[in-house]
Structure 1
């Protein structure tokens, strides 16, 4: 299934994209695609529905983030060796873990707002996934059974806030609009191998990032198992898995986002996002 949320910001409705690409309304079956909706048992109930029986939604409404509010927004840094190299940092021996504030979540095509005081705003196309079953100290072999589905994330990053001063990453990753997500979440049963997905990001029509999850240092299964040995992963937790090379910070000279810039990014099978950068 492809699950999405559509409508004006703050008033989104739950939806499903059928095999013909038609948006269908799920409101009669679930109030919202919140954290609880991504429980694997709840997804099985939705999967049993006949999509053609659901009301079609006409036009092209705005799409919101496909989960209304994750319980925790966890991120993995430096998870591609070539990205670590462009950042001038060693390949990590274990996953680099930080958080993004859940309040940074943004629709896949909503504007990215440059906050006051920002000087080095950057982009990062990433594969993200949602937890669908509580995970505590799970083995890697069983880890993927805890994943509800996969989606596209743009891990917007304010590099000065992230790296300079005290250098705490969460500070540069959490402002409003810094977490574009979607356009939908594709349930795990439709993704044969999360380590065989291509990623791209274009800035103003120029290709900046090209990569494949096959080159991730730590796979999705490894990430789930590793995190679950440190903390309980709850249903609805959102985890984004790192970015391939090509970010603005790594270019020579460095390049950062400015008002009017347009980012287009995506993962085949998981959809695309388009964001315009706007001044705060």
Structure 2
């Protein structure tokens, strides 16, 4: 079973983190959201405290989508709202295609690069981060304890990399390394999103203006492929905007799931 938490009251809202992250990525917005929604925070397969993605011969995208659909059924959720970041946003769209959710809020969704070059840039960035992260692993506790260390480790992920508290940053660092097998399996697919979401599922997109993982110009591709979506740029935010501007992001999610 996937690791998860349920917090708050109101209409159910499923929260899906990005690749190589964990459910605690949503921690900065939890208090704001839990006043209005029942939150279901889940670790994707191979991430956080969830078991590894199995079996190895299966297409990882299909396997994760099936596990999420099974999770929704196990939790007794009847078309919850969903919000996702990065690859979690991509899976949110696939859940919408399957008719399993009633609204989608997407934060820097994956799958909307202009060309193969765009994808190779992101692939190379993750490869570099993983390599450097492995080398620096013995120093992780000391680095995440300082503002300068957090800025060095997370400049590529956040617009304001010093904002996360040391314990959260250290947990994210360990989560990044733990997710390496899942990252290698999934990110090498490189398949762009070409699906269709029905008009009965409203889609809201937020994109950080300082996103270094999936640069802001990819938002134009997302708008073209999801013409019914409402797009909002998030000034000063990086790839994980929940940590950069919790109030703005929480408001966007509440609006998207209203």
Compute the TM-score of the two structures, normalised by the length of structure 1: 0.28
Q: 1 or 2, which has the higher strand percentage? A: 1
Larger Rg: 1
Q: 1 or 2, which has the higher helix percentage? A: 2
